[in-house]
Chains A and B, each alone.
Chain A
Amino acid sequence: MIVKDSWVRIHKIILSPPERAPQVPDDTKKVPLELWTKGFLEKDANLGDEVTVITVTGRKEQGTLIEVNPAYDHSFGNFIPELLKIDQQVREMVFGGEENDQ
């Protein structure tokens, strides 16, 4: 049970494929237009329930409850070793090679 006033994330479909704009490309027309937002849960509920949230601007939005205390999980990703090669290459071009090391 997720209690009222918890900070949650909701998801909903706002346009189904047939309702999509005429100008969208075919691959996009095959899928719905989806929405995600966050807010305070209006009433106690469970994950997967249809709920209403009050957003930080005081607006109400309905959708499926998908996450409690939603976290940011973006990061610096996997390491890209090519960047080290760029470092070595341009430092050598501007400052010279090993013979210039003190």
Chain B
Amino acid sequence: MTSRATDYASVMARKQEIMLKSVGIDYSKFESGSLAFDYERMMRETGYSLEEMQQIQYGVNVGNTPILELKNLTALARTCAPKGMGARIFIKDEACNPSGSFKARRAANSVYHAKRLGYKGVLTATSGNYGAAVASQAAIHGLKCIVVQECYDSKGKGQPEIIEKARKCEALGAEVVQLSVGPELFYKFLLLLEETGYFNASLYTPFGIAGVETLGYEISMQFREKYGKDPDVVVCTNAGGGNLTGTARGLIKAGAKCEIIGASVDLSGLHMASDLAFNRKSFTTGHTGFGVPFSSWPDRSDVPRSAARPLRYMDRYVTITQGDVFYITQCLATLEGLEKGPAGNTALAAAFALAQEYPEDTTIIVQETEYTGAGKHLQPQLSFARDNGIRIFFGDPEEEVPGENIILPSQPSMIKAKEVDLDRMRKSLIKQAMATYQVAQPTEEDIKFLAEETRTHPDYVKDTIKSL
């Protein structure tokens, strides 16, 4: 196997073959032959039932995290809201999971599955919390683990948050392979899969996404037990879409009818594969650089058909600024006595603004928190930004320009959730699907599929296709 060509084009040409071997899913079984595929059947036949997932996760100390009411943050939001407005704000404290984030749920399933199939190790490509989660689960199951990270720019300067995650992965016994900026990370990832024969613990397989269903289900059960009803609104930080998809599916399985709102940090204008822009951002995930492209076209991930399909579940999608998230992270510490990682507070910053649109007797829950520490804390992240020439000052966050400045709101009332045009994203998805699968005449099944993908009606899909 080592004699095979290792240049970029040759390795990429072997992508499908490597993927099939490393994920163990034959995606062609769910294909229609046209652009449609059977999403629900894929989730059913390759995933686990909710009960099985709960057993898997609770067996390795994952899940059952507490829900905390943030009374002082709610009080602050109410000082900014019209009289009688300001929903009660809650968080699900997912930082209590073994690896310090909700990603433990995704990893628990993937690593359990890898072990069951007899793989000796697991491989994952991520600069985020998922690496630590896979490393943690691999440690519990006695499997080997390699985490591939995009970490440094061409000057060898690394994002403090990513360096901390490398430390955590290594502390949990994993090998960490760090790379400079660029999408060819995937090339090295494929080479490593081929070399080791390990399981690809992709973020986007049915096991990974279904692993988050327990989170949505728990929110409903815990809320009903404590408050006698489901929360009215659930806010999810949205990047690759798995967090929102899994949570929403879990809520549906619980029979809950909550409004689901996605939230991302606005990093518009920064190119994600740019060496120069890499260290001009303060958020390495949960931002629009992933959230927008992955929501409007999910099948750009490392598997042929992603199980994360957020447009199917999103009622609203909002963005929030870097300055807003840092401000709210500090509020959480000083008003609630809770120190959490900034990236995990993206949805919280959005929820702070959104709560002001809802009456006082409604409830809004942010479904995650993440751990914090050296590198992965607002202090080092702001310090790193300042060292890189990003100006940090108090002002109107509306004027923030990603990569140039971070504007901390002068007043908390200036924190606003900006609406993303979902209609545009739906149209973009339809257009991309038609182009990718080169469908001249979509079948009835294709139309139905695209209506489900975009949460619209077949007529909407037909009209959109006509207008292309």
Contact = CB atoms under 8 A, between A and B. Distances in A.
B359 interface: no
Nearest to B379: A76
B335 A90 contact: yes
Interface in B110-160: 121, 144-146, 151-152, 154, 156, 160
A87 B327 CA distance: 9
Nearest to A34: B180
Interface string B372-389: 001101111111101100
A75 B374 contact: yes
Interface residues of A, number: 43
A38 B176 contact: yes
Contacts of A38: 170, 175-176
* Residue among A21, A23, A32 having the largest count of chain B Cβ atoms under 10 Å: A21
Contacts of B387: 77-78
Contacts of A47: none
Contacts of B180: 31-35
Contacts of A37: 175-178
Interface size grouping (class) on chain B: 35 or more
Interface string B274-294: 111000000000000000000
Given A57-B144, A59-B196, A83-B378, A23 B175 contact: no
A94 B86 CA distance: 14
B195 A59 contact: yes
Contacts of A6: none
Nearest to A56: B175
A76 B372 CA distance: 11
A80 B174 CA distance: 33
Contact of B379 (A14, A77, A90): A77
A57 B145 contact: yes
Interface in B365-405: 374-375, 377-384, 386-387, 392-394
A78 B383 contact: yes
A80 B382 contact: yes
A14 B8 CA distance: 10
Interface stretch (B55-63, B181-189, B247-255): B181-189
A33 B182 contact: yes
Interface stretch (B71-79, B309-317, B433-441, B443-451): B71-79
B374 A82 contact: no
9 contacts: A14-B184, A21-B182, A27-B275, A35-B178, A77-B380, A83-B330, A86-B334, A89-B411, A91-B334
Given A15-B184, A93-B412, 13 more contacts: A20-B8, A25-B273, A28-B181, A28-B275, A31-B180, A33-B179, A35-B188, A38-B176, A76-B374, A82-B393, A86-B330, A90-B412, A94-B79
Interface of B: 7-8, 72, 75-76, 79, 121, 144-146, 151-152, 154, 156, 160, 163-164, 167, 170, 173-184, 187-188, 195-196, 271, 273-276, 327, 330-331, 334-335, 374-375, 377-384, 386-387, 392-394, 408, 411-412
